[in-house]
Chain A
Amino acid sequence: MKKLLIFLTLIIVGITANAQDFLTKSKVSGSFQMDGNYYWEDQGIGITSEEINGNQFGAYGFGKLQYQLGNFTAGMRFEAYQITPMSGFDMRVEGMGVANFFATYDDGTIGVTVGDIYDQFGNGLVFRSYEEWTLGFDNALRGIRAVFRPWNGVTLKGVYGKQRFYWASYSDNDYSADDRGYVRGIDGEWDLNQSISSLNDSKLRATLGGSFVSKFETGQSIYVGNDELIMPRNVASYAGRFNLGYGRFTLSTEYARKINDPSYFNNYIYREGQELLASLSYSQRGLGVVMQVKRVDNMSFKSSRYATQNDLDIGFIPPLNYTHTHSLPSMFSYATQPLGEMGMQFQVNYTIPKNTALGGKYGTKLAFNFSQVNDIKRDSIMVDGVQTINQPGTLGYSSDFFAIGDRMFYRDMNFEIEKKINAKWHLTLMYINLYYDMETIENHPGSKAVNANFAFGEVIYKINRKHSIRMELQHMWDNVGPNETIDIEHSDYYKKRGNWFAFLLEYTIAPKWFVSVADKYNYGNPLADNRDHYVTGSFGYIKDQTRIAISGGRQSEGLICVGGVCRAVPASSGLSLTITTSF
């Protein structure tokens, strides 16, 4: 008993002595976001009371909590989605609960994470798990991850687990439509300059890497028509990459392959997949030039062969095109085509130096971008004496690696000038020419491709140190005019066609307040009913890391795209409130 008391006293003394330390060294942090929408009827843009009835209110939010003590970190994220079809999310995101939790120990040499994992190998071609709140996308891998850095410049990684699929259970249930396979992967990367001391300061910089990822799904056969197709249990993929730099030049590339992976997406063909991504750049202070090429052939890689939507992706296909942020061109954002595309991009950024005739007092910034994406060329193959293309149960097609398909999916040429004229005035001008294959990108068979020109101008006038006025003007000239012959069966194809005019006026008081009013007017729409104004007003307040914004008005139909993954948002009318904060 005495011993026990002494022991207890010792413990208590120990705790009290260390409690201070324990408390000061522990760190709790987190973040919170909430988006709320209230929709109302708006006959002008075709939103009827029947559509609104019961769907007025949509709200979604998350709260994230993280605890850190030295090399140990643990965290969780609670999510709640109360959505309506007006929000444009996949309805399966609806629900609430702790969607994500993890615990990590990482001392710099060895790291282990259990729980929900976000990571990527190389450029992500064969493995990338990430979360994109604005898309309602989350393919976190629930399982285990280990990282080992045996010596300077060498990183080895391994992951194992099952991907998040909305709110579906993680337990194995082979007969459930929600079930999906396991993902296993390893990756190694070697930075020669960091690991070989004589190369530490070399002008030549080299990094090599390689990965292997496989998915395991319960093997079973499926019937397509009368044909029984045997599905592979394991699908392996692998990728190799290098990054070479010499002085101002950098060359980087990654090549990936995937063995036969018949799926709903590729129409159950057994062809192997492959992907190449390469870029060459030159840069010095004031001038940057980059050229990139890409080829994707049958690379949709998902942990369920039956997946039909933007979910359960194991690999990530980086899109090679400029991301437009201005409201008119961003209505026509490119969505990556995992089944096949060949793309290239060329970009130049140049700053005309300060104190020159053209540069003026502050320098002038110029940017040029060209990108184009085409289909790959597919040739028929002989199956049982018949020429076929993309038939289930076959090898699909053959494709010449270097041949570019005739069909153009997307092309963008744009030029931007940005100039600070003096302490008061700032000017940005942009011209864009865009080709957009609506048939492929929005899956609207028979629709006419967009071939449009855009002009954008922005003026900022600084009234004083804190107050500024910003004005934006935009115009879009579409190849579909008001006299277009309409295909009445598909009148929805014309919702955003024809000429547009847009303006925005914003008043800001740095760093806390902003208020803006904007209008987008589709005055040249081929359908008179669609010649609508989309007027919105926004008001916001920022205090340190907290931001509150309220906006109201009409939202035009559009695509929200992040990293080539898009979600279609229907036209709506209403009020929205967004609150974000972190601590």
Chain B
Amino acid sequence: MKKLIALLLFGFMFFGMSAQNKSDLPNVTLKDLNGKSVNIADLNNGGKPFVMTFWATWCAPCVKEHNALTDVYDDWVDETGVKIFSVSIDDARATAKIKPFVDGKGWPFEILLDVNKDLARAMNVSNPPHTFLFDGNGKIVWQHTGYLDGGEEDLYQEILKIAK
């Protein structure tokens, strides 16, 4: 029995050593707006910081936040090279509506569909909007829940701190 425990322990350790867990991005597969599968663990922005923001079509502050980010996005990209991944947690009722909704509002972000909240659960998101800032290596450096008018400025200050 003791041997078994020791063996398990060892197994665990090597398992841990061989595991490539450099980032805070979980191994969850979502779809993009073209129906293509995207493994979240592979998300990156070529070594530059990126933002992941959770939203839903029924969440008014989320839509406000996205509209506000749209207004400043071009400037942010020019100055810092940041990229925004926007994760919708709408259920299947809205899957077909997200693309026209996003396009109709002119949002320039990369949209991912988390129809059964797999990523939201893995990232411990309870209520949208919830915004994460990742450094170039996929480590979470800042996060914020809720959106109040002007809140995007705060996010930008955090991006500036880590952008090179």
Mark A residues whose CB is within 8 Å of B.
11, 14-15, 18, 21-22, 25-27, 29-31, 33, 64, 66, 68-73, 106-108, 118-120, 122-124, 128, 130, 133, 153, 155, 191, 193-194, 205, 207, 243, 245, 250, 252, 279, 281-290, 292, 316, 318-320, 323, 325, 347-351, 362-363, 365, 367, 418, 420, 426, 460, 462, 465-468, 470, 508-514, 540, 542, 544-547, 563-564, 580, 582-583
Contact = CB atoms under 8 A, between A and B. Distances in A.
B144 A511 contact: yes
Contacts of B41: 108
A16 to B, nearest CB: 11
Contacts of B151: 510-511
A323 B100 contact: no
B104 A287 contact: yes
B80 to A, nearest CB: 19
Contact of B101 (A118, A194, A288): A288
A106 B92 CA distance: 24
Nearest to A33: B126
A194 B116 CA distance: 22
Nearest first, the 7 closest Cβ-Cβ pairs linking A and B are A70-B19, A349-B104, A288-B100, A288-B104, A279-B96, A510-B150, A318-B93
Given A207-B35, A318-B93, A21 B153 contact: no
Nearest to A540: B146
B105 A318 contact: no
A544 B20 CA distance: 28
Nearest to A15: B13
B18 A70 contact: yes
B145 A290 contact: no
A547 B145 contact: yes
A155 B124 contact: no
B21 A14 contact: no
Nearest to A542: B146
B121 to A, nearest CB: 7
Contact of B13 (A18, A194, A462, A546): A18
A124 B116 CA distance: 9
Given A71-B27, A288-B104, A544-B145, 5 more contacts: A108-B39, A318-B92, A347-B97, A363-B106, A426-B149
A468 B117 contact: no
A117 to B, nearest CB: 11
B144 A544 contact: yes
B160 interface: no
Contact of A547 (B97, B100, B146): B146
Contacts of A21: 16-17
B2 to A, nearest CB: 12
Contacts of A250: 96, 99
A205 B13 contact: no
A460 B76 CA distance: 24
B43 interface: no
Nearest to B146: A542
A72 B12 CA distance: 10
A290 B96 contact: yes
B92 A286 contact: no
B19 A69 contact: yes
Nearest to A21: B17
Contacts of B20: 70
Given A64-B124, A288-B104, A563-B91, A281 B97 contact: yes
A153 B27 CA distance: 16
Contacts of A193: 36
Contact of B124 (A26, A29, A252, A564): A29
Interface in B14-36: 15-21, 24, 26-27, 29, 34-36
A25 B19 contact: yes
Contacts of A318: 91-93
B68 to A, nearest CB: 9
B45 interface: no
Nearest to A458: B60
Given A108-B27, A290-B96, A292-B96, A73 B122 contact: yes
A194 B17 contact: no
11 contacts: A120-B92, A122-B92, A153-B37, A250-B99, A349-B103, A350-B104, A362-B71, A508-B150, A544-B145, A545-B144, A547-B145
